[in-house]
Amino acid sequence: MHGAVLQKIDLWLRAHEEELIENTCKLLRYPSIEMPAESGAPFGRPVKDALDFMLDLSRSNGMKIRNIENYVGWAEFGEGKPLIMSLGHLDVVPVGPGWKHDPFGAAIDNGYIYARGAVDDKGPTMASFYAMRAIKECLGPINVRFRSVFGCNEESGFKCVEKYNQEDEAPTFGIAPDSDWPLVHAEKGIADFDISAPLIKGELELLSIEGGDRTNIVIDKCRAVLSIEETGKTLLEELMNDHWDKNIDIEWLDDRKFIVTSYGKAAHGSTPYYGDSAAIRLFKFLKEICPVTQAEQYTHLLDLCDISGSGMGIQGNDDLSRLTSNVGIIKSNESDIIFTMNIRYPVTWSGSDIKTKCEKYLSNHYLGYKLNCIRDSKPLYFSQEDPMVKAILSAYEYQAGGKSKPKVMGGGTYARAVPNTVSIGTGWEGDGEPHETDERIRAKNLRRLSMYYAHILINLAYLALENKK
Annotation says 91 is catalytic:
yes
**One-letter amino acid identity for 298?**
Y
Confidence of residue 239 (pLDDT cuts 50, 70, 90): confident
- From-to residues of CATH 3.30.70.360 in the chain: 189-377
The average pLDDT across 432-442 equals 93
- From-to residues of CATH 3.40.630.10 in the chain: 3-187+380-468
Q: How many CB atoms lie within 10 A of CB 405?
A: 9
Angle at 268 between CA 454 and CA 381, to 5 degrees: 55
Q: Which pTM value belongs to this model? A: 0.81
The average pLDDT across 347-351 equals 94
Q: Write b or e for each residue in 277-312: b if 16 or more Cβ atoms lie within 10 A of its Cβ, otherwise e.
A: bbbbbbbbbbbebbbeebeebbbbbbebbebbbebb
Confidence of residue 140 (pLDDT cuts 50, 70, 90): confident
Confidence of residue 156 (pLDDT cuts 50, 70, 90): confident
List the catalytic residue out of 76, 120, 121, 154.
154
Confidence of residue 444 (pLDDT cuts 50, 70, 90): very high
In this structure, which topology does domain 3-187+380-468 adopt according to CATH?
A: Aminopeptidase (3.40.630)
Q: How many CB atoms lie within 10 A of CB 126?
A: 28
Confidence of residue 373 (pLDDT cuts 50, 70, 90): confident
Confidence of residue 262 (pLDDT cuts 50, 70, 90): very high
In this structure, which topology does domain 189-377 adopt according to CATH?
A: Alpha-Beta Plaits (3.30.70)
Confidence of residue 232 (pLDDT cuts 50, 70, 90): confident
pLDDT of residue 172: 98
Confidence of residue 235 (pLDDT cuts 50, 70, 90): confident
**Is pLDDT at 310 greater than 70 in this prediction?**
yes
**Is pLDDT at 396 greater than 60 in this prediction?**
yes
pLDDT of residue 241: 76
Q: Are strands 72-78 and 145-151 parallel, antiparallel or unpaired?
A: antiparallel
Q: Say how many residues make up the chain.
A: 469
Annotation says 178 is catalytic:
no
pLDDT of residue 281: 96
- What is the rounded distance in angstroms from the CA atom of residue 181 to the CA atom of residue 449? 11
Each residue's pLDDT tens digit, 183-212: 999 999 999 999 999 999 999 999 999 999
**Is pLDDT at 1 greater than 80 in this prediction?**
no
Confidence of residue 242 (pLDDT cuts 50, 70, 90): confident
What average pLDDT is seen over the chain? Answer: 95
